[in-house]
Amino acid sequence: MANFATVATIISFVLLNTLTVVSSCNTTKFILSTEKETFFDAYRKCLQIGFKPLEIVLEEDAKCVGDKLRNHTINHWWIFATNLGDYVNYYWLHTGKPLIYTQFESEQPNNPRNENCLVMYSKASPNPVWHDFPCDSKFRYICKY
C-alpha cells in the first residue's frame, strides 16, 4: 500500500501537468491551465495545488495579464468572479470582495440569471474584456502565486 507522501506526490504531479508557468508581473507569477474546466472545478484545481485563483483588482493587473496572453492561441479564460450571491453584483470567489475595477465589454454582463461566472476574452484590443458565461461552461483558467 502506498504511503500518503507517495500518493500526494503523484496527485501533485498530475495536477501540475495540467498547468504551465506563463510569466510574471512584478512579483506575481501566473499559471495557465492546459485543460478546460468548469468554473468551480477550475477554482478547486488552483487551490489543490496551493495556488490562488486569478483576481484582477487593478487596471495594471488586467494590462499585465492581457499582455502575457495576447499572442496565446486560447481566447477565453476563467477569472473567478461570480454573481451567484444575488444575481446582480459580482464578487471575487476566493476573497469574497466586490469587483471595484472591471473591464466588461459593452453590453456585458448581459444575462445575470443564467450567466453567472466571468471570463476574460484575451484577444480584444487593446485590452482584454470580460464576459459573463454559464458556470458549467468549460474554459481554461489562470492561477497565481
Please report the pLDDT score of residue 18 as a whole number: 65
Cα 79 vs. chain centroid, distance in angstroms? 3
Half-sphere exposure at residue 66, Cβ-oriented, CA atoms within 13 angstroms: 20
Please report the pLDDT score of residue 81 as a whole number: 97
Please report the pLDDT score of residue 118 as a whole number: 97
Q: How many domains does the chain have?
A: 1
Is the confidence at residue 131, as pLDDT, over 50? yes
Q: 5-9, 84-88, 115-119, 123-127: which range is least confident on average?
A: 5-9
pLDDT tens per residue across span 40-52? 999 999 999 899 9
Residue 100: give the domain boundaries: 4-144
Q: Which carries the bigger pLDDT value, residue 25 or residue 18?
A: 25
Whether the model pTM is above 0.85: no
Helix, coil or strand: residue 9:
helix
Is the confidence at residue 96, as pLDDT, over 90? yes
**Beta partners for residue 104, in sequence order:** 130
Please report the pLDDT score of residue 75 as a whole number: 87
Our separate counts of H helices and E strands in the chain read: 3, 8
Residue 27 belongs to domain with CATH number:
3.10.100.10
Give me the percent of the chain exceeding a pLDDT of 70.
81
